[in-house]
Structure 1
């Protein structure tokens, strides 16, 4: 790691991004315990279920060997596999509505507005489809690990160095590029990008920024965390996805630093709480839920930031980011178990098992269906009755 850290910051942009990516991967490797000293996952609780949940249907994509995110839009889930095949799957019964083979494996999840879908390949090529028809391809100047965001017939891409590029969804014309003063290090982990009304929201370092989507002009930025530490690694506080939303309030996690909620209408931070986690958060009108680095879950009041409950029954189980639903909080783990917690107290009320490859991404909800994806590429649609 020290050799890479000696790299000069005035190298060309592509080289800089590759160095940043290398540092990020090295950071992750340095933080791992050896197999003999790794903390053991908490044993599964003896459980008497008080919530009815079931697998409604199953489907499959190729294995998942990249930072997966799944688009849930209209009546379908849009998801990609490691083989570069993008599939639109009916949320109702799991039938495949269309498939598009973009020819290369993926480096990030798929973004879609229901008409257009966008993904980035291992060759760092942005590919946009309309259904199963490939419309265009374009090489990206910097590596991408965050799923593109598609809205308003535009495709927005957040690169590894946290620059934002906008393209016309139909013909691939570059519309604008926003490049803010960069951080010395960034994470090779999915960042934050979304929208509120006519404002594009992007994570840039430890800040959430509001951007004019037509011109690429910064409208406001709000601090999620104030990085502290004696070196660049300790001060690393990138915003990591997924981001949570309740109307005009958006909540996000700064890596190993804090969770905060921002009012996107006014562009100001509503509250921030120190919490050293590495996965994104989920929220509804009452609670924001996230896990710290040891997989202790905390629920904060969405409007106040007050702690509602904590749950430590899943420590060291390598949890996914959670999903807050109307009936429960849902989270997956590295052994393939899906846990359901009560929203008022954080107690486990149900548990289902998928396959042993482990849950690969945050659960995603569309209507009454929650989709779980595993590392082996199996998709499980869950319904709470």
Structure 2
């Protein structure tokens, strides 16, 4: 018979909170990476991998600190370190698949499977580090834990990456946390623990030392969580983010920083109003008739026409003011469109989508509920 065990309810809740914070921080840090230079993208992928992988590890060992056995047990420091590095490396591989290749359904699924394998590998490697207590698994328990991890991890990646909206990031965060916590407690629930001899082990990691390490890791995750939350909902015009991410317009130099020209709000101009945009360090002007849409992108604005995407120095609010009296129409808090370029419309419950088949750089634009009636009227629907 195995040893009887229970869990500290507060540490169970703490483990879930850590998984939530790590998931939110890592997924929000990885949001919008296709719009940054490759060097910055690599750095942010590495940071996201550390947060997500470290969050999986921290959640596991917070829960293990809450595991109450009738005997004292310890950990092998090397195996414990390997479990943390394994989680970070495998999560990093999943993020590389998502952010350095064209995102397709097959790649999203592959990334989810890789993430699930990383959670499994981290859990069972961490369990292998237990000393003075041996974990024994059943085939059924291993299969169930594996299925839970792979299915929920894949679901989390699909939710967070199929549509890169803030809502999807939040839902993906919850699904990620559920995947990590469910795998851990289902795996532990199907595991039996047996007392073993501690002789022969000169180097062990006690629960007190482990608690200090996990507390530091949790502190770092909490700090990163606060920073990510502070910028997740920026003031002013936010990114619509209702469409898949697209590459940024080309610039001089692969790692050149985005150049934003500040423009002071002015009263709308009368008559013809050219739209400024940036190319190769110069400010040029576009005929509004040739512009299909203008989109708010965080702290800057993107102009779409034909195959081209370019930075526009106007904010979305100023663009709406300056283009007042033209055919441009506000269809979403982050989009102005030129109806002359619209090639299709689709009603989606109480919102909609307009299509721009002739504008390869744009594709489609969301229509908010408050703008739906006006858009339908302008399109003659």
Q: TM-score range by the shorter chain?
A: under 0.3
In our comparison, the structure showing a higher alpha carbon Rg is: 2
TM-score, structure 1 as length reference: 0.24
TM-score, structure 2 as length reference: 0.24
- Relative to its length, the structure with more strand (as a share) is 1
- Relative to its length, the structure with more helix (as a share) is 2
